[in-house]
Amino acid sequence: MKQARLGDRWGQFVKSEIFKFRWMGWRRFAYDFLVIQFGFVLFGLSIDIMVRANLGLGPWDVLHMALTYHLPITLGEASIGVAFVVVLLDVILREPLGWGTIANMIFIGVWIDILKPFVPSVPSIFWIQIAYLLLGTIVMGFATAIYIGVDAGAGPRDSLMLALSRLSKTSVRRARTIIEVTAVTVGWLLGGPAWIGTIVSALAIGPAVQLAFKLLRVRPSKSH
């Protein structure tokens, strides 16, 4: 009886198409994995650059940094932990995931911690800090375009955005705004670094991604 119930649950899981994966051979998978890793390296680097700018972080990183103030964890570990919770929410909300979603959850946080010692600090001169912050935002834009271009599944937070949009029957933009405002508010209440850099990042990341899409000739699939 228990085996039958487990079989029924597994069948429902498969039919729900929670996890989508298109196998195109080991050579293509290896190539996609290397490309997506390069995107994750750049994404981790961009976050470290923004941290060094010391003008505030993007909405989710405000939350991640706040967690490091209250728990004995690194910024990368906080990123992984939050992403894991978000992935669980994605599964509960039956939003389709890809192998890139899981890779995103793990490796961006890993690269944040690995690259942190190699990113130099900048003097506390406002225009230099702003330039550093914008550099981090541009790098993040290119990182986003690179890993989206692989088309291996949306990131955990992007998947949550799509799930909220689908379930609430609202626009993707509004769903994204709700999620990011929630993340930065919780992070700020926990003492996270929400400042002018948070606003600059929120305003500049869209144009940065669009520029990267154009220069790299990336066309996001309909799944994004």
Q: What are the DSSP calls for 179-208, one per residue?
A: HHHHHHHHHHHTT---SHHHHHHHHHHHHH
Q: Once rounded to an integer, what is the mean pLDDT over residues 151-161? A: 88
So what's the pLDDT on residue 132? Answer: 95
Which of 184 and 174 is assigned the larger pLDDT?
184
Confidence category of residue 217, pLDDT binned at 50, 70, 90: confident
Q: Could you give the angle at the alpha carbon of 26 between the alpha carbons of 215 and 83, nearest 5°?
A: 65
Q: What is the mean pLDDT of residues 172-184?
A: 87
Whole-number pLDDT of residue 118: 97
Backbone angles phi, psi at 185, to 5 degrees: -65, -45
Percent of the chain at pLDDT exceeding 70: 90
pLDDT tens sequence across 193-210: 999 999 988 888 888 888
Mind listing the pLDDT tens digit for each residue in 87-102?
999 999 988 899 999 9
| pLDDT the model gives residue 14 | 45
CA distance 165 to 173: 9
Q: Are 62 and 184 in contact (CB under 8 A)?
A: yes
Residue 3 pLDDT grade (very low, low, confident, very high; cuts 50, 70, 90)? low
Structure confidence at residue 184 (pLDDT): 94
| pLDDT for the residue 8 | 52
Domain boundaries, the chain: 35-216
Q: So what's the pLDDT on residue 172?
A: 78
- Please state which of the ranges 24-38, 158-172, 174-188 shows the lowest mean pLDDT: 158-172
Residue, of 170 and 45, whose pLDDT is higher: 45
Q: Mean pLDDT in the chain?
A: 88
pLDDT at 9 over 80: no
Query: What Cα–Cα distance (Å) separates residue 120 from each residue in 45, 78, 110, 128, 141?
Result: 11, 22, 19, 13, 20
What is residue 194's predicted lDDT score, i.e. its pLDDT? 95
Number of Cβ within a 10 Å radius of residue 192:
26
pLDDT top residue among 22 and 116: 116
